[in-house]
Amino acid sequence: MDLLESGRQKRRLLIAFIDLAGFARDAERTADDRLAALLDRYYERIGDAVAQAGGTLVKLIGDGALMVFPPERADDTVRALLELRDAIPALFATDGWHSGLVVKVHAGDVARGAKRFDVIGGEVNIAARLPTRGFALSAEAFRALSPEGRKQFKKHTLPVTYLPISDRRPTPMTKL
């Protein structure tokens, strides 16, 4: 762990974002007390998955969550997140929901917040912008897996797009 000029600690972590696809649609037709009960069960499942892989739940953001894991536990992290992704539709199906879990995992150096536990930096943004409707690992997260863990995945190359040279907008995988 490095100490930054600001006094914050910098550390390499696996950064994971999860989010429920279709949440707003399903939540609109659910009574508030029922919605709160569903979210409580969902949050418990998230907490269990994070604990199973030795991670830290950084924050819950409505139907989404930001969590971090030690890179040496990459196989455990991926296993726990795949299990969570597979379990969540059944959790919500009992209420007639059709929401699925979107999972994005990246590995990179982050700064830890000074006032409260948080992770900050461009690597967090890269994780959040990974393009997927299901489960995606960045190349950096994939490299953190053991050779056995890598066998669960196939390479997916995004379509090539072209932007004007003068356009400075970053692409989803460009480091800021």
Task: Write out the two tokens for 36.
Answer: 């709160």
- pLDDT of 133 reads 85
Compute CA distances 70 → 38, 54, 74, 106, whole Å. Answer: 29, 7, 7, 12
Q: Where are the domains of the chain?
A: 2-150
| Cβ 38 vs Cβ 146: under 8 Å | no
- pLDDT of 157 reads 72
pLDDT in tens, 11-45: 999 999 999 999 999 999 999 999 999 999 999 99
| Cβ 126 vs Cβ 160: under 8 Å | no
Output DSSP code: residue 24. Answer: H
Instruction: State the DSSP H helix or E strand holding residue 25, giving kind and residue range, or none if neither.
Output: helix 23-28
- CATH of region 2-150: 3.30.70.1230
- pLDDT of 162 reads 57
SS3 9: strand
* Helix, strand, coil shares, percent, the chain, to 5: 40, 25, 35
What is the per-residue DSSP string for 102-148? Answer: EEEEEEEEEEEPSSSS-EESHHHHHHHT---SSEEE-HHHHHHS-HH
| pLDDT < 70 stretches in the chain | 1-8, 113-114, 158-176
Give the C-alpha separation, 122 to 144, whole Å.
19
> pTM, whole model, 2 decimals?
0.83
- pLDDT of 73 reads 97
Q: How far is residue 29 CA from its own chain's centroid?
A: 27
